[in-house]
Homo-oligomer: A and B are copies of this chain.
Amino acid sequence: MFTKAGQYGLRAVILLASTENGRGIMGVSEISKTLDIPKYFLAKVLQQLARQDIISSVRGPGGGFYLNDINRSKTLYDVIVAIEGDKGFEQCILGKSDCSNEVPCPLHFQAVASREGLFYQMKNASIEQFVHGKQFSPLNV
């Protein structure tokens, strides 16, 4: 479904959002250890997110990545699109360029219906809201 880069990015953002009301700061090393993710690859993904203002960063000792108010108002859809583009989300499940409600591929309506639920969640809940809703039980990121 998602690429590794996308998965790592989503998990890292959710992790950041789950620290001290989403206001904690974590370095790449800490995140990569916590999530058991390759460190340098994760660094690239996080830098990509930072460049696009999906997350924030500070350099130097004690630095790392965190979410500011604007960041926390972004959605998981924003996160994944920042990493993968919107192809995976918007493209025909069979890869056809001419697939639409008017000229649907044989799986079109099933695929659209299937995506809707997940996409709705990822598009319509801010990271803040999303993680808050989960935090009654311990997060398994």
Contact = CB atoms under 8 A, between A and B. Distances in A.
A117 B112 CA distance: 10
Interface residues of A, number: 37
Interface stretch (A46-54, A61-69, A133-141): A133-141
Given A7-B95, A10-B94, A11-B94, A106 B118 contact: no
- A-B pairs with lowest CB-CB distance, top 4: A114-B118, A7-B95, A114-B117, A110-B121
A121 B141 CA distance: 30
A7 B10 CA distance: 26
Contact of A140 (B8, B11, B104, B116): B104
A28 to B, nearest CB: 18
Interface in A1-39: 1-2, 4, 7-8, 10-11, 14
B106 A117 contact: no
Interface in A92-107: 93-96, 98-99, 103-107
Contacts of A45: none
Contacts of A134: 106
